[in-house]
Amino acid sequence: MTKDTTSLVPVCPLEEITRESGVTALVHGKAVAIFRTHSGDVYALSNYDPFSHASVLARGIVGTRTVAGEPVDFVASPMHKQAFDLHTGRCLDDGTVSVPTYEIVVTDGMVLVGGPKEAR
């Protein structure tokens, strides 16, 4: 839970997001990509791909990549395939680039998204 709970807005029922895929939501005027992984976890990232300058990340393929021996959930930009860590927003192909992540919770089967988290 985040301190600023008032900024959490409901976007859709969890069931509406197919496992291992994303949807785009409009939250406080911003396009946010919301992903649901195979294990059922949900993540929210900015939908904006900093490489292609297009609002597309929710339409990428979701999978896992082994980083330092650990499987990391990621989305590959549908534009030029750069991979972004779903937990941190960090680009796995270029450590200097990352996208903002957003607060996200599931309550009573409803997905709620809040404001951007502090950069890690």
Partner 1 sequence: MNTRKTLVVVGHGMVGHRFVQAAIERGLTETHDIVVIGEESRPAYDRVALTSWFDKGSEALSLLPEGEYDDPRVRLILGTSVDLMDPATQTVTLSDGAVLAYDELVLATGAAPFVPPVPGVEKDNVFVYRTIEDLEAITAAAQNASSGAVIGGGLLGLEAANALRGLGLQTHVIEMNPRMMSVQVDEAGGKVLGRHLTDLGITLHTSKATAAITGEGTCTGLAFRDEDETLDVDLVVFSAGIRPRDAIARAAGLDLAERGGVLVDEQCRSTSHEHVWAIGECAAPGGTMYGLVAPGYTMAEVVVDALLGGGGAFTGADMSTKLKLMGVDVASFGDAFGATPDCLELVFNDAVAGIYKKLVISEDGKRLLGGILVGDASAYGILRPMVSSGIPLPANPEELILPASSGSMDLTLPAEAQVCSCNNVTKGDIEAAVEGGCESAAEVTAQTKAGATCGSCKTQVKKIVEDYFAAQGKVVDKSLCEHFPLTRAELFDVVLVHGYKSFDDIIAAHGTGRGCDICKPTVASILASQLGGHVLAEGRQTLQDTNDAYLGNLQKNGTYSVVPRIPGGEITPAGLIAIGQVAEEFGLYTKITGGQRIDLFGARVEQLPAIWGKLVEAGFESGHAYGKSLRTVKSCVGSTWCRYGVQDSVGLAIELELRYRGLRSPHKLKGGVSGCARECAEARGKDFGIIATEKGWNLYVGGNGGAVPAHAQLLAGDLTTEELIRYLDRFLMYYIRTADRLQRTSTWLASVDGGLDRVRAVVVDDVLGLGAELERAMAVHIDSYADEWSETLNDPEKLRRFVSFVNAPGVPDPAISFGTTRGQIVPDAGPDEPVLLGASIPVGGARR
Residues that bind partner 1 (CB under 8 A): 9-13, 16-21, 23-31, 34, 37-38, 46-48, 52-56, 59-66, 71, 73-74, 76, 78-79, 81, 83, 110
Least distance between partner 1 and beta carbon 41 (Å)? 12
Comparison of 56 and 105: residue with beta carbon closer to partner 1: 56
**C-alpha pair distances (Å), 95 with each of 13, 21, 30, 85, 104:** 33, 24, 24, 11, 24
Alpha carbons 115 and 83: distance in angstroms, whole number: 23
Least distance between partner 1 and beta carbon 1 (Å)? 21
Q: Which amino acid is at 111?
A: V
Exposed/middle/buried for residue 107 (C-beta within 10 Å: 0-12, 13-18, 19+)? exposed
Comparison of 69 and 95: residue with beta carbon closer to partner 1: 69
Least distance between partner 1 and beta carbon 49 (Å)? 9
